[in-house]
Amino acid sequence: MILAPGDAPARPDLDWLRHRSRRGSPAEPVTADAAPGGLVDFLAGRTTRRQPDQAPTPQPVAPSQVPVGLDLDLDLDLDLDLDLDLGTSGGDLLDLSAPAPRPVPAPAPSSSDLDLSDPRPATPPAAPPSAASDLDLFPEAPAPPTAPPARSPAPAPRPERVIRTVPRVAPGGRVILTRREPTVTLDRVQSGVGALTVTAVCSPAVGDLVLGAVHQLGDGSSGVVSRTAGIPTAPPRSRRPVLEAGRGEFDQIRVDLRQTRLLRRFVVYAQSASESSLAWGGTLLIATHGGSRVEIPLDLPAHDGPVVVASVYVVDGELVVRAELEPVRGLVRDVAQAYGFRAITWADARTPVL
């Protein structure tokens, strides 16, 4: 039977519940009655505060020990007391809060046999340049200076081409050759038409001066042409000689210009027929078919022996005449050897072998 709220007797423990203190405040002195007892003693207010390290042992409550009119208040006070005990315990006896979740570490990337990606290794940062210390006993050697780029040498200035006019003889003209201007060239007409006549124009006061020539033909053969030596033609005994020695008023040598292609060169020398001393004087006259003249004076110092007066070379079909005026010590053989005519054999210094 449940009594109405107005008919229930006053609870003796309400005043104690209003004035009780929470855990952590100064506790009341513990008595022997504070030992763990039944639920009825706790609700009746006869229990005391227990120590934090003593766990309460719940005792079974008989239904007959619970006051009849206290069923509603029992639920209310029990909830209130449990809320107060759990809220102010400071987590000493029972912590019902859920633990904070710990961060789960991310799984380490594992390489797979099927992973075809090509991860590029990170480029390590460049080490900062280390400054040389004052106590460094082995300082780094300074880098050698960079050589400047090689410059291509400047091209050497080309010498100006000096165009020299070749001295020539005008048709019907006259040229005198000296040691200062010793050379003249005959053109193709002067070198290929008629005959070239070489004459020693001298007075009897000079002496018994005679002319001779040492020649070289186009086939490489060489020989001597001399009236006094008994070899008047070259080649010897030829019906059409290229060179021929003779005498008119003066001693002379005649060159057939129609056969200049068979001639390579020749030199003209003068000597005494009796190999005596000569009073050198006069002129060596070289005349063409058209009347052109080349003159070489024979004003020479006293000399016993032959003198090479002139040399004639065939160059590209033209005759180049040069004044030599060179004395040679010896005889005809010495003249031939002095000017490089080596293809001649000699019976003696005066007579070649024909």
Q: In this structure, is residue 350 part of a structural domain?
A: no
For the chain, counts of helices (H) and of strands (E): 5, 13
Of residues 37 and 168, the one with the higher pLDDT is 168
| H or E element, residue 339 | none
pTM over 0.75: no
Q: In this structure, is residue 211 part of a structural domain?
A: yes
Give 103-124 pLDDT, tens digit per residue. Answer: 555 555 554 444 555 555 555 5
Report how far residue 233's alpha carbon sits from residue 220's, in angstroms, rounded to the nearest whole number: 17
Average pLDDT for 9-21? 58
**CB proximity list for 324: less than 8 A, separation 6 or greater:** 182, 267, 308, 309, 310, 311
| H or E element, residue 130 | none
Report how far residue 229's alpha carbon sits from residue 253's, in angstroms, rounded to the nearest whole number: 14
Band of pLDDT at residue 10, cut at 50, 70 and 90: low
Q: CATH number, domain at 326?
A: 2.60.60.30
Give alpha helix (H) positions in 235-323: none
81 plus 185 within the same structural domain: no
Last residue of a domain, one of 87, 117, 151: 87
Quote the domain boundaries for residue 82: 14-87
Last residue of a domain, one of 68, 87, 106: 87
Q: In this structure, is residue 231 part of a structural domain?
A: yes
Q: In this structure, is residue 115 part of a structural domain?
A: no
Closest C-alpha among 284, 214, 271 to residue 243: 214
Angle at CA of residue 256, ends 251 and 260, nearest 5°: 130
What single string gives the DSSP state of each residue in 188-225?
Answer: HHHHHSSEEEEEEE--TTT-SEEEEEEEEETTS-EEEE
Q: In this structure, is residue 69 part of a structural domain?
A: yes
Average pLDDT for 42-48? 55
Report how far residue 109's alpha carbon sits from residue 164's, in angstroms, rounded to the nearest whole number: 94
Report how far residue 185's alpha carbon sits from residue 322's, in angstroms, rounded to the nearest whole number: 9
Report how far residue 285's alpha carbon sits from residue 200's, in angstroms, rounded to the nearest whole number: 6
Give 53-63 pLDDT, tens digit per residue. Answer: 455 555 555 54
Structure tokens at 1: 């039977």
Q: In this structure, is residue 314 part of a structural domain?
A: yes
Last residue of a domain, one of 69, 87, 105: 87
**Domains held by the chain: number:** 2
Q: In this structure, is residue 41 part of a structural domain?
A: yes
311 plus 210 within the same structural domain: yes
Report how far residue 309's alpha carbon sits from residue 322's, in angstroms, rounded to the nearest whole number: 9
Q: In this structure, is residue 67 part of a structural domain?
A: yes
178 plus 286 within the same structural domain: yes
78 plus 217 within the same structural domain: no
